[in-house]
Structure 1
């Protein structure tokens, strides 16, 4: 059964398209919370989306249309809820990965 947060937001378009692990397009973006060459944090209708990689940069940004395009080598992506900071989520993910 779908989560209530997702069921209540089905009318909102949210799409993530990754091409060749180097070109990422995201629809349904409300805000760019933070970014640098190694990590982007985007606020979407479905929670925060963290994108990690190398040499990341914004190719296209249109917050009025809810669209962001990012170029660079993508290592991983993941969603987290508002109650969890991106640093805490990344720390938990990477600590499990490298045990």
Structure 2
């Protein structure tokens, strides 16, 4: 990932995935392709770098720009887990139940 500075502004190259967590209470991310499912305790997000599982408490969407792939969440973030495989987290869950 390359950050470019232009007069006190930073731009991120298109397609690069950047995740910023502030005090475990606010999360900003880029290169979001799809939000597959979400509720107040769990978000499952597809990014350019794989599937991302976010768990916490009182999670909510603060900002979503589908065209630019930007997502901002607020809440108490407890867990971040990436999975490179398509549907890998679901497969792991089913494997634990029936495997």
Query: Partner residue of 1:42?
Result: 45
**Contact 1:17 / 1:24 at 8 angstroms: preserved in 2?**
yes
**Structure with the higher helix share, 1 or 2:** 1
Q: 1:86 Cα shift?
A: 3.9
How big is the alpha-carbon RMSD for the aligned residues of Structure 1 and Structure 2? Answer: 2.2
Structure 1 or 2, whichever has the larger Rg, is: 2
Deviation at 1:83, TM superposition (A): 4.2
**Equivalent position to 2:92, from 88, 94, 98:** 88
In the alignment, structure 2 segments of 5+ residues that lack a partner are: 1-12
How many residue pairs align between the two structures?
A: 82
Runs of 4+ in structure 1 displaced over 2 angstroms?
A: 85-89
- Aligned twin of 2:55: 52
Structure 1 portions without partners, runs of 5+ = 1-9, 93-99
Task: Kindly indicate which of the two structures has a greater share of residues assigned to strand.
Answer: 2
